């Protein structure tokens, strides 16, 4: 199954609906637009294996460009819309991108790219692209082949890393993909074209673009939110009769913080499968979501590297509270600092033994750091297995705080903080401390900044004290209107750490 086939058999079926505007693109329109873009890419001299960058807001055009790359053998490099010109230039140069496709929304930042040694031919939607593409044929190019997507990690701990999958064994455009099997057999998404899939997150991330385009392969309809809003998401489920969806934990938190009268206002009865991933979900938050939406919630643990995956449904999660499931791709190994495997129940680095090894683009050092001497690979997370093979995540190794010689994983503290009814978001980091090496700092986004005062700090200390050992308690609480969190749920803790490190240096 493939959009090319659906364009022939179900040409008028909706492939994309923009949730806010209602703009609809049929499979026939999607196919013709993708063909035109593929012809234009060939006209620019791009051949199979060449890369190009895509910097664009959530738009139906995003899918047209994606499917153009997928039929012209090219490497699509999605770029976060929150990056600076310097960061975008780094990705364009590191990926060897031949050109950039963007929209008028990014005129300012694109104009600054040459200052950072990134001067590329650019196609701008809303700035002439439509006229250029209208002159291209709507028929297929003569040398179609499957393309690839090179994703860049979010750079939460340093420079983003490019992850280029190996060339597919079967280069034919309509060859099946592993995600198709995972969607239908793992997450029980229907393959008869009846799925209506809600995508509330930015399309430049791995999960939104990967899973929503898998829905296209299965012939379903993808409903895309231009920007996430908790009530608008519930409204979209009702309005478009959504059957399947994907989320990150921050989406759950924000929907749960809605007043009861709003949460119960919308008909969610068509909703059959709600999938979440990308960041650890606090157990209390997930339990509240299952109580609200019912046992339709699925979770998986994986990374852009594609080296392994776990999955868990609501029933298994209820009996294995806090787990991210058992492996459905690869074999899990928990290893100590010496690389030796640890007994069941002990925490250590999570490695996948997988048929899909990966390499970081142009960075053998980073690849080596992520590779066990037996060839297993890690995403940098810490966790443990139980007797039944269920995996439990502790935190990322890079987030660990060492205070007075004691290892502290901040995820535990963050999970408790966000369950407080006055807290919207929280980040816990280690800040420099002359006496203890690092001190635990909680940076908290309250529901309203009007609540940001000493009284709330006292409430939070009391809230945490019942659950946390004294050594894990934050020694400092700072309140902010917003945290540097990526739209895929990941916190840019690196930015916070650098800020507190710089402040400590000024005070020294």
Q: Give a yes or no: residue 238 inside a domain.
A: no
Q: Which of 71-80, 148-157, 334-343, 430-439 has the lowest mean pLDDT?
A: 148-157
CA–CA dist 38, 46 (Å, integer): 9
Q: What pLDDT score does 484 carry?
A: 86
Q: Give a yes or no: residue 319 inside a domain.
A: no
Q: What pLDDT score does 377 carry?
A: 93
Residue 215 reports pLDDT greater than 80: yes
pLDDT digits (tens, 9 = 90+) for 67-106: 999 999 999 999 989 888 988 999 999 999 999 999 999 9
Residue 61 reports pLDDT greater than 70: yes
Domain of 451, in residue numbers: 400-507
CA–CA dist 222, 486 (Å, integer): 22
CA–CA dist 29, 6 (Å, integer): 11
Highest mean pLDDT among 9-18, 246-255, 335-344, 365-374: 9-18
Domain boundary among 168, 192, 212: 168
Q: Give a yes or no: residue 35 inside a domain.
A: yes
Q: What are phi and psi of 447, to 5 degrees?
A: -55, -35
Query: DSSP string spanning 91-152?
Result: HHHHTTEEEEEEEGGGHHHHHTGGGGT----EEEETTTHHHHHHTS-SSPPTT-B--EE-EE
The DSSP bridge pattern shows strands 221-224 and 97-103 to be: unpaired
Q: What pLDDT score does 237 carry?
A: 98
Highest mean pLDDT among 96-100, 181-185, 403-407: 96-100
Percent of the chain surpassing pLDDT 90: 70
Q: What pLDDT score does 490 carry?
A: 74
CA–CA dist 282, 410 (Å, integer): 12
DSSP state of 182: I
| Model confidence, pTM | 0.84
Residue 156 reports pLDDT greater than 60: no
Q: What pLDDT score does 403 carry?
A: 80
Domain boundary among 133, 168, 203: 168
Domain boundary among 168, 199, 214: 168
Residue 161 reports pLDDT greater than 90: no
CATH number for the domain that contains residue 479: 3.30.300.30
- Count of the separate structural domains present in the chain: 2
Q: Which of 60-69, 145-154, 208-217, 398-407 has the lowest mean pLDDT?
A: 398-407
pLDDT digits (tens, 9 = 90+) for 490-503: 777 888 888 988 88
Residue 157 reports pLDDT greater than 70: no
- Residue 4: which residues within 8 A CB-CB, separation 6 or more? 31, 71, 140, 173, 174
Q: What pLDDT score does 179 carry?
A: 85
Q: If pLDDT is split at 50, 70 and 90, which confidence band does 21 have?
A: very high
Place of tokens 């908290």: 444
Q: Give a yes or no: residue 214 inside a domain.
A: no
Q: What pLDDT score does 155 carry?
A: 54
Mean pLDDT of 322-336: 95
Percent of the chain surpassing pLDDT 70: 98
Residue 446 reports pLDDT greater than 70: yes
Q: What pLDDT score does 412 carry?
A: 87
Between 315 and 153, residue with greater pLDDT:
315
Q: What pLDDT score does 154 carry?
A: 62
Mean pLDDT of 118-135: 95
CA–CA dist 104, 472 (Å, integer): 47
CATH number for the domain that contains residue 64: 3.40.50.980
Q: Give a yes or no: residue 315 inside a domain.
A: no
**Token output for 355:** 């048929």
CA–CA dist 223, 221 (Å, integer): 6
Q: Give a yes or no: residue 223 inside a domain.
A: no
- Residue 61: which residues within 8 A CB-CB, separation 6 or more? 33, 103, 125
**Token output for 228:** 């996430």
Between 18 and 1, residue with greater pLDDT:
18
Q: Which of 64-78, 174-188, 290-304 has the lowest mean pLDDT?
A: 174-188
Sign of CA dihedral 199, 202, 203, 207: negative
Average pLDDT, the chain: 92
Q: Give a yes or no: residue 48 inside a domain.
A: yes
CA–CA dist 101, 64 (Å, integer): 12
Q: Give a yes or no: residue 85 inside a domain.
A: yes
Q: What pLDDT score does 182 carry?
A: 84
């Amino acid at each position: 199954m493939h959009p090319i086939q659906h364009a022939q058999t179900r040409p008028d079926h909706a492939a994309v609906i923009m949730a806010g505007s209602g703009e609809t693109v049929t499979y026939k329109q999607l196919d013709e637009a993708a063909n035109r873009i593929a012809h234009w890419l060939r006209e620019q001299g791009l051949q199979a294996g060449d890369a190009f960058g895509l910097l664009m807001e959530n738009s139906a055009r995003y899918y047209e460009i994606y499917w153009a790359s997928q039929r012209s053998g090219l490497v699509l490099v999605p770029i976060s819309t929150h990056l600076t010109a310097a960061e975008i230039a780094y990705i364009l140069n590191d990926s060897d991108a031949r050109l950039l496709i963007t929209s008028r929304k990014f005129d300012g930042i694109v104009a600054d790219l040459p200052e950072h040694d990134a001067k590329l031919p650019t196609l701008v939607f809303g700035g002439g692209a439509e006229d250029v593409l209208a002159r291209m044929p709507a028929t297929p190019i003569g040398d179609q082949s499957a393309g690839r997507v090179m994703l860049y990690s979010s750079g939460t701990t340093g420079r983003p890393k490019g992850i280029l999958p190996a060339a597919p064994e079967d280069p034919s455009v309509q060859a099946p993909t592993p995600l198709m099997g995972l969607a239908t057999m793992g997450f029980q998404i229907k393959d008869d074209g009846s799925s209506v899939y809600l995508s509330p997150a930015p399309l430049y991330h791995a999960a939104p673009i990967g899973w929503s385009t898998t829905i296209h392969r299965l012939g379903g309809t993808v409903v895309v939110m231009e920007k996430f809003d908790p009530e608008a998401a519930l409204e979209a489920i009702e309005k478009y009769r959504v059957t399947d969806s994907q989320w990150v934990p921050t989406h759950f938190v924000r929907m749960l913080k809605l007043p009861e009268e709003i949460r119960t206002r919308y008909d969610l009865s068509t909703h059959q499968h709600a999938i979440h991933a990308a960041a650890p979900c606090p157990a209390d938050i997930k339990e509240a979501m299952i109580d609200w939406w019912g046992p339709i919630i699925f979770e998986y643990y994986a990374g852009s590297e594609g080296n392994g995956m776990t999955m868990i449904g609501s029933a298994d999660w209820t009996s294995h509270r806090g787990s991210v499931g058992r492996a459905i791709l690869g074999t899990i190994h928990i290893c100590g600092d010496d690389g030796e495997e640890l007994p069941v129940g002990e925490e250590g680095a999570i490695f996948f033994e997988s048929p899909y090894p990966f390499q970081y683009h142009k960075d053998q050092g980073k690849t080596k750091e992520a590779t066990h001497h037996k060839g297993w690979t890690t995403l940098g997370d810490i966790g443990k297995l139980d007797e039944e093979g269920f995996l439990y995540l502790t935190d990322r190794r890079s987030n660990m705080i060492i205070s007075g010689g004691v290892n502290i994983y901040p995820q535990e503290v963050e999970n408790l903080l966000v369950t407080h009814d006055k807290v919207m978001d929280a980040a816990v980091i280690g800040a420099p401390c002359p006496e203890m090496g690092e001190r635990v700092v909680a940076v908290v986004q309250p529901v309203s900044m009007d609540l940001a005062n000493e009284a709330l700090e006292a409430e939070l200390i009391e809230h945490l004290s019942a659950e946390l050992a004294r050594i894990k308690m934050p020694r400092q609480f700072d309140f902010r209107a917003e945290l540097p969190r990526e739209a895929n749920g990941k916190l840019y803790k690196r930015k916070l750490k650098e800020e507190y490190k710089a402040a400590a240096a000024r005070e020294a």
